[in-house]
Structure 1
Amino acid sequence: MEDLQASETWRIFRIQAELIDGIETLNGLGPAVSLFGSARTPPDSPWYRLAEEVARGLSDRGLSVITGGGPGIMQAGNQGAQAGRAKAVGLNIRLPHEQHANPFQDLSIDFRYFFVRKLMFVKYAVAYVIFPGGFGTMDELFESLTLIQTGKIRRFPVVLMGSAYWCGLVDWMRQQMLAEGNIAEEDFDLFHLADTPQQALEVIDDFCRELESTDTNLRRMTDQTP
């Protein structure tokens, strides 16, 4: 029992260390967009190329791109961002399979705990762009919508790339969740569907222009992002 209690106590310090490391590393990053999607997407996939193009567009606008640091869509996002003028950030997680750090990272942080990593995704983001993916991608999607819906974070764009991939889920939300009264009609305004980089970037551009009118630091940070 004493060994177990000691282990639990030291776990608190490991969590604290991850929080400090993440905040100190990312605190000067400036405005960024968190990009999500499947680790299993191959480089020859149209989704990979689309993610790379979206990330390049964000980076060229001075918005750093934060991904989970792994392969697939995450690698595409970092690769596209690195080709632009802002930073490519990878928040890597230690997993028994699938996850290995991709080589396109200007800033790289390793995490043991999912919840600390997830905090970093949302803390430094002015938008989420979500590509087709599995359970992890859905987790990030619904967590962001929950935080925005409940007012726990400032509202920002959540862009779902690929309407054909997401339309079944959205239809189910209307036919089941909305019909049962578990969500409201206005909750569908919490996310946007996009099929092209231009559509996604336009949503984020509009939001950033709104922020600039209220946040005098945003333009300065964007202009100074290397």
Structure 2
Amino acid sequence: MDTKRQDLTARNFPSAEEDAQIAEPPHRYTGPESAYRLAFTDTDFLLREELRPVRMQLELLKPELIQQEQGIESTIVIFGSARILPADEAARRLEAVRAAPDVDAATVKRAEMAVTMSRYYEEARRFAEIVTRRAARLHTPIVVSTGGGPGIMEAGNRGAFEVGGRSLGLNIVLPHEQAPNPYITPELCFQFHYFGLRKMHFLMRSVAIVAFPGGFGTLDEMFEALTLIQTKKSRRRPVLLFGRDFWTRLINFELLIETGMISPEDVNLFRFVETAEEAYDILAAEYGLDSDVDNGDGKSPRAEDF
């Protein structure tokens, strides 16, 4: 007779993990044609077309639950091109191009432009450093979040990493350009299949959106955020566009107003900035991040106050 005292809160049933570990099929049913595997360990089953709603739910739930467990409540999202290089790398490539025999003028021009654009990598890196360092004193720190890839995304994660902070990377499966950069906090490095759910997670915890020069992906993410704010489907928050010259040459905002495609006040949904310090000062003023006044509890402003 088993006289061992029972734990009052012991499970009444084995966990799914426990069953998954012991549910090895008999040899006769190990083949690919067998339906014996537990449904939640059967990858072939989970990848069926009919299971798309379940997969979408999983992509919503996994990052949400992990961020809750990690105490991530407020983020500053950095968007920007995967193709912008660090300044030193851009300079090395230009030197190599110029030294190459029979190089054409167009190739040299592209390498020179890469050097020019590399300043945005350094600004993104410094901006993430400033945010991470100064926000660390908040009751619940603000965490930098990026798309997790190279270029501007790498710069954001790198800036946080270099001052000992955590940062998120929301990667997505693509044929190219989207291996995780090495500066993301491992427990906050996610991978998505669905663009829509990835963009939801960008915005769900964001207290600010910072867009550096970029291509189709950056434009998609930036305009989705602006549309949600414009239509009041999402609360208003600072949207900062780095590089006035780039954005105003790329998008004719005045034409949109002139033709009635947007209201004149819609251009107030975002602000142009040029430096990391200028961007941070706007956020500090918006949220009182550097205020000497506490909340009555001896602490700095809290993320939940945003």
> Is residue 2:60 matched to residue 1:19?
yes
Cα distance change, pair 10–218 in 1 and its aligned pair in 2 (3 A):
farther
Q: How far is 1:22 from its partner?
A: 1.3
State yes or no: 1:174 paired with 2:247.
Answer: no
Corresponding residue number in structure 2 for 1:42: 85
**What is the correspondence of 1:191-206 to structure 2 with a 5 Å cutoff?**
191-206=270-285
Aligned to 2:148: 69
Match of 1:80 among 136, 159, 162: 159
Secondary structure of the residue aligned to 1:61 is helix
Residue number in structure 2 paired with 1:3: none
- 1:70-109 matches, cutoff 5 A: 70-84=149-163, 86-106=165-185, 107-109=188-190
Amino acid of the structure 1 residue aligned with 2:253? M
Task: Name the counterpart of 2:73.
Answer: 30
> Does the C-alpha gap of structure 1 residues 187 and 218 become closer, same or farther in structure 2, counting only changes over 3 Å?
farther
CA RMSD of aligned residues (A): 2.3
Structure 2 residue ranges without an equivalent (≥5): 1-46, 88-117, 136-141
Spell out, residue by residue over 1:165-222, the C-alpha distance to the aligned partner (whole angstroms, 9 max, x if none): 112245x1212x1111111111011000000111111111122229x99x99993348
Tell me which of 10, 32, 50 is aligned to 1:9. Answer: 50
Q: Out of 42, 60, 64, which is 2:133 matched to?
A: 60
In 2, the alpha carbon distance for the partners of 1:60 and 1:162 equals 24
Moved over 4 A (4+): 215-218
Deviations 1:103-150 (A, max 9, x none): 001110111110110000000100011000000000111111100000
Q: Are 1:157 and 2:238 matched, yes or no?
A: yes
Deviations 1:27-66 (A, max 9, x none): 3213210001000111222111111001111111222100
Q: Which amino acid aligns with 1:130?
A: A
Cα distance in structure 2, aligned partners of 1:220 and 1:173: 35
Structure 2 equivalent of residue 186 of structure 1: 265
Distance, in Å, in 1 between the alignment partners of 2:194 and 2:235 is 24
Which blocks of at least 5 consecutive residues in structure 1 are unaligned? 1-5
Q: Which one has the largest radius of gyration? A: 2
Q: CA deviation at 1:85?
A: 5.2
Aligned residue in 2 for 1:51: 124
Work out whether residues 288 and 301 of structure 2, in 8 Å CA contact, stay in contact via their aligned partners in 1.
no
Ranked by relative contact order (alpha carbons within 8 Å, sequence separation 6 or more), the top structure is 1
Aligned-residue identity in percent: 41
Contact 1:148 1:155 in 2 (8 A): yes
- Between the aligned partners of 1:40 and 1:114, the Cα distance in structure 2 is 19
| d(CA) in 2 for partners of 1:122, 1:156 | 10
Q: C-alpha distance in 2, partners of 1:119/1:10?
A: 20
Q: CA contact under 8 A between 1:65 and 1:87: conserved in structure 2?
A: yes
**When you count helix as a share of all residues, which structure comes out higher?**
1
Mapped to 1, the partners of 2:59 and 2:301 lie a distance apart of 30
**Would you say how many aligned residue pairs link Structure 1 and Structure 2?**
213
Q: Which residue of 2 aligns with 1:126?
A: 207
User: Offset of 1:10 from its aligned partner?
Assistant: 0.6
Whether contact under 8 Å (1:31, 1:218) holds in the other structure is no
CA contact (8 A) 1:91 1:109 kept: yes
User: Counterpart amino acid of 1:33?
Assistant: I
